Every structure is written in C-alpha cells, then in structure tokens.
Homo-oligomer: A and B are copies of this chain.
Amino acid sequence: MDIAEVAQRSGVPASTLRFYEEKGLIASTGRRGLRRVFDAGVLERLALIALGRSAGFSLDEIGRMFSPGKGVRIDRRLLAAKAEELDGTIRKLSAMREGLLHAAACPAPSHMECPTFRRLLGLAGAGGLGGRDKKKPSSKGRS
C-alpha cells in the first residue's frame, strides 16, 4: 500500500501519516523509489492511535506505549490511571451538563439571579477541568 491508499482506507490524511511516521508512531515497511510502502498492519496501528487519542492520550504517550517492540505492549497501570482520569473528567462534565441544562431552562430573568447558575459558577472555579477542543470534522478525503 502506498501512502494514498493508507490515507484513503484509514481516513487519515497523507500529511498526517508522514507526520506520524516522523514521530515514530507508525512505520513504513520500505520504499518504492521515494515512496513509502506500508503493510496492512499500519491500519490497525492507526486505529490504535485513534483510540489512544480519543481516550485522551497525547501522541507522545501513545508513542511511548508501543515504541518498545512490535507488539502493542500497553502498560496496564497506565490504562487504569487514564481510566481514572477519564472518570474525573466525566464527573465534572456531568455536573456541568446538569448546570447547563438547568440554566437553559431557568426561569430567572437573568442567569445571575438563578441560584443553580450561581452554584455552577463556584463549581467552575473549583473544577480542574480545562478547555476542550472539538475534533476537526475531518470529513474530507472519504469517498
């Protein structure tokens, strides 16, 4: 498979594939001339990377996970830790969602007069939850 096929099959842009290779996240099995040749395993690897990213791992973390050998070799404690972290995030997000929903339905003329909303303010200050960014739509390139 050349890079275009991997891109097309995985939905990951070629530029990203090169970037990932540069970062050591994926590897091409060789070259045909200048062009990278990938084997099918790279698709699994890419799925794994997507999974990791979804779970909140950085590319570096993901890289560390399978840089050792060919196997996936993910440290289970790392997974458990990440799961716990996720759990905290979920809790905060849930509280926020509740508050948002209430605020949306709140009868008070101004949100500032709503006790629930005001409670939410404190929550925001307290919570460690950071800014989230949406994933890019990435809806291009797929036929």
Chain A contact residues, CB within 8 Å of chain B: 11, 44, 47-48, 50-56, 58, 71-74, 76-77, 79-80, 82-83, 86-87, 89-90, 92-94, 96-97, 99-101, 103-106, 110-112, 120-125, 127-136
Chain B minimum-CB-distance residue to A113 = B72
As for how many copies of this chain the complex holds, the number is: 2
Residues in chain B near residue A58, CB distance under 8 A: 131, 133
Distance between A82 CB and nearest chain B CB, rounded to angstroms: 6
Select A128's contact among B48, B105, B135, beta carbons within 8 Å. B135
Closest beta carbon of chain B to A28's beta carbon, Å: 20
Cross-chain pairs A/B with CB under 8 angstroms, 25 sampled: A44-B121, A51-B99, A51-B121, A51-B124, A52-B124, A53-B130, A54-B96, A54-B129, A55-B124, A58-B133, A72-B111, A72-B112, A76-B103, A77-B104, A80-B101, A80-B104, A83-B97, A83-B104, A89-B93, A89-B132, A90-B94, A90-B97, A130-B132, A130-B134, A130-B136
